[in-house]
Amino acid sequence: MARSFSQLAINAEKQRTSIAISKNPLEKPELEIHTLGNSVLRKPAKRISKVDANIRDLVKKMLHSMYSAKGIGLAAPQVGIHKQLLVIDLDIENPTTPPIILINPEITGYSASIETYEEGCLSIPGVYLNVIRPSSIKLNFRDEMGRPKKLNPDGLLARCIQHEMDHLNGVLFVDRVTNLEDLKKELKENGFNNKDVMPIQ
């Protein structure tokens, strides 16, 4: 997920992690982020059966790509890897806040309350549009050591996790935009094709 211009700085929930990398941008990160129109973004991701050093290596590479693009969330399919893996960091300016690593995330509950919020995506650079989603969720996942975890996020973290989890199913936030006039205009202005949107019915 890309940061919206209107977004206030929000502190991420601090969490212990064994993944420690610099948040400084790299000139050319190893994993390229694919953009709207590339079919890799539409392919669903598979569960990770074993959380090992290879997965942690992939996490580091994804973090480098995310930080280099100044994003706050990245899903593995965005770098062409169809595994159920997300990296999130809502506090990218602060070098001491660890990222959140979500492996095989599963949403087990949604709040009845919904919220409208302006989203962006590293795969659709420059496009920022309102999306309606549940304001909080319940989540099961594994961390980067394979340990089962639970989380009940709200606010920006709940928003970001839902956005990134959509990527695991080949869904992009533009598919959920309800203001089709704004959608068409924003896509055109940023060099994207409206035909690459697959509206959620």
Q: Which residues are catalytic?
A: 164
Residue closer to Ni ion by CB (options 132, 146) is 132
Say if CB 153 and CB 161 are below 8 A apart: yes
3-state secondary structure of 136: strand
Q: Taking CB under 5 A as the rule, which mask of x and - marks residues 97-136 in contact with Ni ion?
A: ------------------------x---------------
| CB burial readout 172-187, b (16+ within 10 A) else e | bbbbbbeeeeebeebb
Residue closer to Ni ion by CB (options 1, 58) is 1
Backbone angles phi, psi at 73, to 5 degrees: -160, 145
| Size of site (CB under 5 A) for Ni ion | 1
Total Cβ atoms within 10 A of residue 9: 11
Distance in Å, CB of 145 to Ni ion, minimum: 25
Distance in Å, CB of 164 to Ni ion, minimum: 7
Told to check if 177 binds Ni ion by CB under 5 A, we report: no
Told to check if 45 binds Ni ion by CB under 5 A, we report: no
Residue type, 186: E
Distance in Å, CB of 160 to Ni ion, minimum: 9
Residue type, 31: L
Say if CB 84 and CB 53 are below 8 A apart: no
Told to check if 59 binds Ni ion by CB under 5 A, we report: no
Told to check if 62 binds Ni ion by CB under 5 A, we report: no
Residue closer to Ni ion by CB (options 59, 121) is 121
Backbone angles phi, psi at 81, to 5 degrees: -115, 115
Distance in Å, CB of 40 to Ni ion, minimum: 13
DSSP state of 137: E
Told to check if 87 binds Ni ion by CB under 5 A, we report: no
Residue 18 in tokens: 């064994």
Residue closer to Ni ion by CB (options 10, 54) is 10
Residues of this chain that interact with Ni ion (CB under 5 A) are: 121
